[in-house]
Amino acid sequence: MSSTISRDVIEHAPDAAADWPDRIYGLLKAYAIRQVALVPDAGHARLIRRCLADNDIRVVTLTTEEEGVALMQGAWLGGQRSVLLMQSSGVGNCINMLSLSTMHRCPMPMLVTMRGDFGEFNPAQVPMGQATQAVLEAMGTLVNRADKPEDVAPSVEATLKFAFNTFRPTATLIGQRVIGAKTFGKD
């Protein structure tokens, strides 16, 4: 058995008119972020393009998200600020590596685009999506949620401030209600 559907049903990326990805990019610049580690997510596609186009930001595409946690530890040792961009499913890949942040008091801000959250189509996304916040908090991460477009930038700024001012793992979860506009394969 099989069925054919539009890609819109399974891909989630911000509407072209949404400005929050550009506002996140502005915050990365304002907070002097020099290394951006990521496993791509459609929700971060525009932000990733902005970072790739910036010669002062080193984009490090990872094979698994926990590599990004370790990269943030190394960047901080060398005096550079970094962030980790990932989808909620990738949070599960980070659990043990997040011990580095607590062990060494290393700032580790994470910007997470949610799946398995609001109006999800794919049942495989639901278990990790529903566990994302609990898993992060279990590892000592301060978690902010953004479920409206206007909440994204303030929440990301709080996540950056809290990480670099208080030396710990922090995360903004960008809800699927924000990301979930249909993509029409364009973003």
CB 114 within 8 A of CB 80: no
User: Does 67 help bind another protein (rule: CB under 8 A)?
Assistant: yes
- 81 CB-near residues (< 8 Å, 6+ apart): 31, 32, 33, 34, 35, 75, 107, 164
Judged by CB under 8 A, the residue of 6, 61, 122, 166 near another protein is 61
Stretch that binds another protein, among 10-18, 72-80, 112-120, 133-141 (CB under 8 A): 72-80
Q: Report how far residue 105's alpha carbon sits from residue 126's, in angstroms, rounded to the nearest whole number.
A: 31
Judged by CB under 8 A, the residue of 1, 5, 17, 103 near another protein is 103
Least Å distance, CB 8 to another protein, is: 31
Nearer to another protein, 91 or 179 (CB): 91
The DSSP secondary-structure symbol of 7 reads G
In three state form, how does the secondary structure of 105-157 look? CCCEEEEEECCCCCCCCCHHHHHHHHHHHHHHHHCCCEEEEECCHHHHHHHHH
**Is the Cα dihedral 143, 65, 48, 163 positive or negative?**
positive
Nearer to another protein, 13 or 33 (CB): 33
Judged by CB under 8 A, the residue of 21, 27, 28, 82 near another protein is 82
Q: Residue 156 carries which side chain, given as an amino acid letter?
A: V
Judged by CB under 8 A, the residue of 14, 128, 164, 179 near another protein is 164
Nearer to another protein, 75 or 114 (CB): 75
Query: Which residues of the shown chain bind another protein in the complex (CB under 8 A)?
Result: 34-35, 58, 60-64, 66-80, 82, 96-97, 99-100, 103-106, 164
